[in-house]
Structure 1
Amino acid sequence: MADVKYYDVILKPVVTEKSMNAMAEKKYTFLVHTDATKNQIKEAVEKMFEGTKVKSVNTMNQDGKNRRRGMVVGKTSKTKKAIVTLTADSKDIEIFEGL
């Protein structure tokens, strides 16, 4: 497994209607590095966003989709999503404010 640092774990937030509705329950969705473990994701969120305490992390591995361009057949890259649940006394994550 690759040596993944905490600042390489979280790639970008997922902004969809479903993920925005889950923010009311202190659940935040991120695209993460495919080799990242749940412990690494928890550590990265707590280090990158001050005042946050992670209660649990749920992850999903998504295979690449089949794509065709003319006669050339290929696949898009694999992705991994993480839904991070914060504790009740934790601060909210600032990057989602105002969305």
Structure 2
Amino acid sequence: MISEKILRKKINIIKYPIITDKTTKSIENNIYYFKVDINSKKNEIKEAVEKIFDVKVKRINTNIVAPKSKNIGKIKGQIKKYKKAIIKLHNTDKINLFDNN
């Protein structure tokens, strides 16, 4: 049994899944995309995914996405940089991101 404090720390590493056309197609190949804490390391991300979703991770790639400029009307702004984790699971494991009723 994982203590509540350790589980809360692992949950804070993974922010949310990235859902786009490309990422939903890659789910068929057991590849999932998550936005993660920018200071987290690959082994921390792996432990967090394995504990939270109860799956076995095969491979992790990470990428820091550069900031982008964005205009909202006349106001210019920037989207902050973030870290993206690309997670490949073993063939027997799945993460249920969508509610299948």
TM-score normalised by structure 1 residue count: 0.80
Size of the aligned set, in residue pairs, is 91
- In the alignment, structure 1 residue 37 sits paired with structure 2 residue 41: yes
- In the alignment, structure 1 residue 61 sits paired with structure 2 residue 64: yes
C-alpha deviation, 1:34, in angstroms: 0.5
Q: What corresponds to 1:77 in structure 2?
A: 80
Cα distance between partner residues in 1 of 2:17 and 2:95: 11
Instruction: Name the SS of the counterpart of 2:38 in structure 1.
Output: coil
Cα distance between partner residues in 2 of 1:73 and 1:53: 43
Out of 6, 9, 13, the position equivalent to 2:10 is 6
Alpha carbons of structure 1 residues 67 and 21: separation in structure 2 relative to 1, 3 Å: closer
TM-score normalised by structure 2 residue count: 0.79
Q: Which runs of 5+ in 1 are unaligned?
A: none
Identical amino acids, percent of aligned pairs: 36
Instruction: Name the SS of the counterpart of 1:66 in structure 2.
Output: strand
